Structure 1
Amino acid sequence: MAFRPRGSRSRRTLLAVLVAASVAVPVAGAARPAAVPAPAPALLAPITTATPAALDERYAVNRDGIRAAGRTAADHGDRRRAAVLRAMADPARHFLSFDGRDGGRTTEVFGDLSRAERIAVLVPGSDTSLDAYGRFRAGAEALRQQLGDRAAVIAWLGYRTPSTVSPEAMTAGRADVAAPRLRRFIGELRAVKPSARTSLLCHSYGSVVCARGAPGLRVDAIVLYGSPGTGTDSVGRLSGRADVWAGRGADDWIAAVPHARLRLPFTTVGFGTDPVAKEFGARVFDAGTGGHSDYLKPGSVPLRNIARIVSGRAPSPAGRHA
């Protein structure tokens, strides 16, 4: 029997998906760079303590891994990747994990994790990789500066993110792979920092990752921003313990993405209810007038409000940002 979408909303969604896919498939195929080889990372035990000595030892092991990956990239002739990795190997930078294979996986710490009373874990959206890591890192640094002392920000690039112009960005496949990894990491983090206020900050497709990993997760707040949806219909399906917040900038193109889900024979396309919609049930914060990549921009309204949520404070009402 032929598939017949019911209702104008389903038809709009199907049309948007088909148009996007017709563009994404050839573009993604043409633009995909050749894989850059990297050595297998050192096998590290789960994080069991957050003492300065234990963290320094872990950072040193991952720094050696980054340097090895940089040498491999240079031997392969990829100067861009080699330069990125040389910068990552700076002794002033701190990585809880690193794997240079398949686009790269990293977990970078900003601030002193051993002393942190507030921890924010950033989960990125599409098009984030070692070669496009700068913007993700800049946002983490800006948030750390906004939070001040006794806070740590962790940039968790723990999965292969989809390309914005690709079919993978319209389904939860990448998020389903990422979610167990995120759950394991948050579990380890809470075990070694049980008294720290921990927030999960989820940008764009990262909202889908967080939603897949959230049920039963011990975090104090989940913040969804620039989200295409989560794959769930309401906050009740995320986490019973966490306060769930959602925000979207006035100039964010993600608002034009149809907020619906279509169940096709082999997959489900789209991510359902808009997180800033009343029926989703999240607490909505003012995300200013910026675009899709502006949420953690220094001095911005959303950065200040996200920092307030991480700190356990209410965000400022619209138009009031002291």
Structure 2
Amino acid sequence: MTETSEPAARHRHGSRLRRTLLAAFVTVSVAVPVTGTARPAAVPAPVPAVLPPLPAVTPAALDERYTVSRAAIRAAERTAAGHGDRLRAAALRVMAAPERRFLSFDGREGGRAVEVFGDLSRAEWIAVLVPGADTDLDRYGLLRGGSMRLQRELGTRAAVVAWLGYRTPSTVSPQALTPARADEAAPGLRVFVRALRTARPAARVSLLCHSYGSVVCGRASAGLDVANIVLYGSAGTTADNAAGLRTRAAVWAGRGAGDWIAGVPHTRIRLPFAVIGFGADPVSPEFGARVFAAGDGGHSDYLRLGFPSLRNIARIVSGRLPAGEVRGA
């Protein structure tokens, strides 16, 4: 029997991955017209005012920004109610509560919102959460809940910013397999983080990137002045390795044992009409990230109470090493 050479085996494995990913692309391309009718219909919303960057993160400046954003949410609520969408209107009424603090809000195209948890004016550590696919105003609870739990885990010295600053793709769509939406989102994330660093230069800022949010962070990372980039539940960043992110930040990666994302092929394929896939697996040794223990949770469990991923992400944000086994640190 002839022994198979290692390069040939790698070639066949890569070909299988490419075929699998191409099949997935074709499947979702066919499935979207069928399943798309089940998605929430677009709800009209007024065009929000263009907001300048915050000159400083003082209590007075923040209160003024929160007031402006609250007015935008209430205007969107009235428009949704007039459109007959009572569920969206009710959700917006809750978001406009006096205790909620939004740096910006846009109710169009599924919605964009940047919400603050904790006291941003005094925070020593700031975590910016970048969510993944299927996050919008109608499914905002998971992002909000995770942000609140992380802020409680970090304590009063920290603030958490939930950055829903882009049109997230649907999980079952061609857009979820390409970096196109991430390329749209990256400039806005860069502008936001740079403004935050300018307004709060003494704070330690970390980017926390979940699922497709890892692709957004990967496209935005070059030269960004942050202490950490934390990739969790990630299918890739489009970079071949951590060095390819072109950042001085510490790059961390974690994946729960029950996360289905582990089964996604880690490759990139250039087709005539698109580039699909997100490249190297961030938790692989070849990628070169610092891998932290994330426990046995699934794709939506990273910021749930009692999970080691929540504790370890909080430790990274606060400048401490994660607990448990850490590879590459």
Trace 1:216-255 onto structure 2 (pairs within 5 A).
216-255=223-262
* 1:13 aligns to 2:14 (yes or no): no
Cα RMSD after superposing both structures: 1.3
* Separation in structure 2 between the aligned mates of residue 15 and residue 182 of structure 1, nearest angstrom: 31
1:193-212 paired onto structure 2 within 5 Å: 193-212=200-219
Q: Aligned to 2:146, what secondary structure does the other structure show?
A: helix
Residue 28 of structure 1 deviates from its aligned partner by: 4.3
- How many residues in Structure 1 have an aligned counterpart in Structure 2? 314
Q: Work out the CA distance in 2 between the residues paired with 1:122 and 1:27.
A: 32
Give SS of 1:107's match.
Answer: strand
| Letter aligned with residue 230 of structure 1 | T
15-24 vs 195-204, which moves further: 15-24
CA displacement at 1:79 relative to structure 2:
1.1
Cα distance, 1:120 vs. partner? 0.1
DSSP-derived class of the 1:280 partner: coil
Could you tell me how far 1:267 is from its partner in structure 2?
1.5
Give the drift of 1:101: 0.6
* 8 Å Cα contact 2:17/2:266 also seen in 1: no
Query: 1:240 Cα deviation (Å)?
Result: 3.1
Structure 2 SS opposite 1:136: helix
CA distance 1:13–1:34, change in 2 (3 Å): same
- Which amino acid letter does the alignment assign opposite residue 90 of structure 2? A
| Aligned counterpart for 1:258 among listed residues 256, 260, 265 | 265
Percent identity for Structure 1 against Structure 2: 66
Q: Corresponding residue for 1:303? A: 310
SS at match of 2:49: coil
| Residue from 27, 31, 52 that aligns with 1:45 | 52
Matches within 5 A, 1:73-152: 73-152=80-159
Q: TM-score, normalised by structure 1?
A: 0.95
Q: Structure 1 stretches (4+) deviating beyond 6 angstroms? A: none
Which whole-Å deviations, capped at 9, do the CAs of 1:126-181 have from their partners, x for residues lacking one? 00000000011000000000000110000000000000010000000000000000
- Seen in structure 2, the aligned counterparts of structure 1 residues 312 and 95 have a Cα distance that, compared at 3 Å, is same
Q: C-alpha distance in 2, partners of 1:283/1:27?
A: 41
1:270-309 paired onto structure 2 within 5 Å: 270-309=277-316
Query: What's the secondary structure of 2:13's corresponding residue?
Result: helix
Distance in 2 (CA, whole Å) between partners of 1:259 and 1:15 is 10
TM (normalized to structure 2)?
Answer: 0.93
Question: How many angstroms apart in 2 are the aligned matches of 1:19 and 1:205?
Answer: 16
What is aligned with 2:221? 214
CA distance in 2, matches of 1:71, 1:254: 39
Question: Displacement of 1:317 after TM fit?
Answer: 1.4
5+ long unaligned stretches in structure 2: 1-10
Contact 1:296 1:303 in 2 (8 A): yes
Contact 2:20–2:265 at 8 Å: present in 1 too?
Answer: no
Cα distance between partner residues in 2 of 1:7 and 1:265: 22
- For 2:86 and 2:18, the matched residues in 1 are separated by 41
Q: Compute the displacement of 1:83 (Å).
A: 1.1
- Alignment partners' CA distance in 1, 2:159 and 2:166: 21
Which ranges in structure 1 are unaligned for 5 or more consecutive residues?
Answer: 1-5
Which residue does 1:158 correspond to in 2?
A: 165
CA deviations over 1:161-211 (Å, ceiling 9, x no partner): 000010000000000000000000001000001110000000000000000
